[in-house]
Chain A
């Protein structure tokens, strides 16, 4: 029987705040998967507009169907559309920031490991891109291609990798000077193996935190692009273009814009708070490693 270490908690204990955030995200993800499957009508198709449009929340339409959040101007159920939009927003946010982090990690690691020209060129590109506000860069990229799902993801990657690249580069440069890297090299490991197996795993902490914090941001940016008409295109729902669709109905039918906005706030809030607490946890941990190294 292996000896139990007392300093390592056996189960990851979560604070109330983390439970609430995780719960909210899980509920949203569950709803995003389940609700559109249960819908009786196609959430993209436009049916009998005149009798179904702008049904109030908690009301029943003329055909006897109940709408928890009401319907939009084309008579489509808002709850179903909101959950479909949730699929896209969550997926785009997670995929966009994770892929940006992967690209950033590769660039940063190679730049630090190879040094010289590769380092100089890649960091010059990163610095040049960092000089342009991300929103502006995002708009320019979105303007160059056909708006749509792929463009949004590609653009999020293209404008999001620089921060992580700089972080990872700094960490890898620090790790490179560690004795265990020399030890691995002395044992005959090839440079690529040393980088991938020994250096990178020890340099990823800050990059993971930055990625987690980036998810909420990516979701906000995606919905912003969609709000301006440069992201996800109707009839495909996104929280951003649903808010845009409710823009001129803000007085006649405020629920059309309010519901997706609240969904957006809850999602971004949960992602940000989780990222914050992850940072605090890892900061404690890396403080320990720093002391160990010294």
Chain B
């Protein structure tokens, strides 16, 4: 117990390596996957939410809402298997162009000695399928959130004022609406990161992505308790840091909260 407080998490039963080192290998890989997925999530989800709020109650809004709800209810590992079937096996069987034949296993091609740009490209190709799943599920949630906040802002006095003084609709959305939901979205980003990293447990285990999730599942199967407990502590630390970051960011982004 005293060791834990000093950052010493013990030794892995399975590999005889210090748990801290094992986690240090896995955490950046998961953060890379989760962080990128979250970035795509917001880049896709926030505009979708704005579009939905602008077209509230009309066909576009309804179709997007239905799609988001269905994606949100689908288990990620099942969607992952479906993508693997289409883009890995299917693409090879149907003779799709090589750009659409995506690898479904690991983070890099096995035994490859690639360096620099080629290596990055290789990792990128391996990341496409897991990122698609994580981002689609995340965007479904974020769009729902953004839709509510934007609809809220659109009913404010100053949006009516902006429209009344003849501001072009596009500028109303870009300048008045987007700027006002930005602080909430940045905070949401910080708060979502641990959830996405934890949520990638299934996706990592389907795609054999060598991150925290796969490590966790493999360690549980191997009864490697020091690693399981160490990973849990790291996940909890991630949540606490994300909360702290959100608390510190909010006054910087939103002058009204600075007081």
Q: Is the CB of A132 within 8 A of B236?
A: yes
Whether B75 lies near A257 (C-beta < 8 A) is no
Q: How far is the CB of A87 from chain B (nearest CB, A)?
A: 19
B161-200 toward A: CB 8 Å interface, digit per residue (1/0)? 0000000000000000000000000000000001101110
Question: With an 8 A cutoff between CB atoms, is B5 at the interface?
Answer: no
* Contact status A228-B198, CB under 8 Å: no
Q: Using A136-B216, A140-B228 as known contacts, say yes or no to A227 and B201 having CB atoms under 8 A apart.
A: no
- Cβ of A139 within 8 Å of any chain B Cβ, yes or no, is yes
Contact A132 B235 (CB under 8 A): yes
Q: Are B216 and A139 in contact (CB under 8 A)?
A: yes
Q: B72 to A272, Cβ gap below 8 A?
A: yes
Question: A227: which B residues are within 8 A, CB to CB?
Answer: 75, 77, 202
Considering only CB atoms, which chain A residue lies closest to B239 in the complex?
A131
Q: A224-B202, A251-B85 are in contact. Are A216 and B73 (CB under 8 A)?
A: yes
Partner of B240, one of A131, A135, A216, A254: A131
- Least Cβ–Cβ distance between B156 and chain A, in angstroms: 21
Q: B215 CB to closest chain A CB, in angstroms? A: 11
Q: Return chain A residues, CB-CB under 8 Å to B235.
A: 132-133, 136
Q: Is the CB of A139 within 8 A of B201?
A: yes
Q: How far is the CA of A237 from the CA of B19 in the complex (A)?
A: 35
In the complex, the answer to whether A135 meets B198 with C-beta atoms within 8 Å is yes
| Cross-chain contact B70 with A228 (CB below 8 angstroms) | no
Instruction: Tell me, rounded to whole Å, the shortest Cβ–Cβ distance linking A256 to chain B.
Output: 11
Contact of A250 among B85, B198, B240 (CB under 8 A): B85
The dominant DSSP class at the B interface is helix
Judge if A126 is at the interface, Cβ distance under 8 Å: no
| Complex Cα–Cα for A126 and B192 (A) | 20
Q: How far is the CB of B134 from chain A (nearest CB, A)?
A: 13
**Are A136 and B78 touching (Cβ within 8 A)?**
no
Query: Are A257 and B78 interface neighbours, CB within 8 A?
Result: yes
Q: Which residues of A contact B228 (CB under 8 A)?
A: 139-140, 143
> By the criterion CB–CB under 8 Å, are B73 and A265 in contact?
yes
A148: interface (CB < 8 Å) = no
> How many Å from the CB of A206 to the closest CB on chain B?
18
Q: Which of B231-250 contact A (CB under 8 A)?
A: 231-232, 235-236, 239-240
A137–B236 CA distance with the chains assembled, in angstroms = 10
Chain B, interface size category, equals 35 or more
User: Is the Cβ of A133 less than 8 Å from the Cβ of B85?
Assistant: no
Nearest CB to that of B197 among chain A residues?
Answer: A133
Q: CB-defined interface of A228-243 with B at 8 Å, one 1/0 digit per residue?
A: 1110000000001001
Cβ contacts under 8 Å, A261 to chain B: 74-75, 78, 81-82
- Distance (whole angstroms) from the CB of A104 to the closest CB of chain B: 20
Closest B residue to A243 by beta carbon equals B78
Contact with B along A125-147 (1 / 0, CB 8 A): 00000011111110110110000
Q: Roughly how many angstroms separate A147 CA and B205 CA in the complex, as a whole number?
A: 18
- A247 nearest CB neighbor, chain B only: B81
Contact B195 A264 (CB under 8 A): no
Cross-chain contact A265 with B70 (CB below 8 angstroms): yes
Question: Is A273's CB within 8 Å of the partner chain B?
Answer: yes
Closest to A130 in B: B239
Smallest beta-carbon distance A143→chain B, Å: 4
B220 touching A269, Cβ below 8 Å: no
Given contacts A140-B229, A254-B85, contact A135 B75 (CB under 8 A): no
| Residues in B whose Cβ lies below 8 Å from that of A69 | none
Q: Is A109's CB within 8 Å of the partner chain B?
A: no
Q: Is B39 interfacial (CB 8 A cutoff)?
A: no
Judge whether A251 and B89 touch: CB under 8 Å.
Answer: yes
Q: A268 on the interface (CB 8 Å rule)?
A: yes
Contact B73 A133 (CB under 8 A): no
B74 contacts which chain A residues (CB < 8 A)? 261, 264-265, 268
How far does the Cβ of B28 sit from chain A's closest Cβ, in whole Å?
A: 18
- The 8 A CB mask of B208-225 against A (1 = contact, 0 = none) is 000000001100110101
B84 touches A268 (CB 8 A): no
Least Cβ distance of A197 to chain B in Å? 37
Q: Which residue of B lies closest to A229 (CB)?
A: B221
The reply to whether B89 and A269 contact each other, CB–CB distance below 8 Å, is: no
Q: Which A residue sits closest to B223, measured CB to CB? A: A143
Given known A-B contacts A227-B202, A261-B74, A269-B69, A136 and B231 have beta carbons under 8 A apart: yes
In whole angstroms, how far apart are the Cα atoms of A247 and B231 in the complex?
27
Cβ of A157 within 8 Å of any chain B Cβ, yes or no, is no
Interface residues in A139-182 by Cβ distance below 8 A to B read 139-140, 142-143
A–B pairs, 13, beta carbons within 8 Å? A132-B236, A143-B225, A143-B228, A240-B75, A243-B75, A250-B81, A250-B89, A251-B89, A251-B90, A265-B73, A265-B74, A269-B70, A272-B69
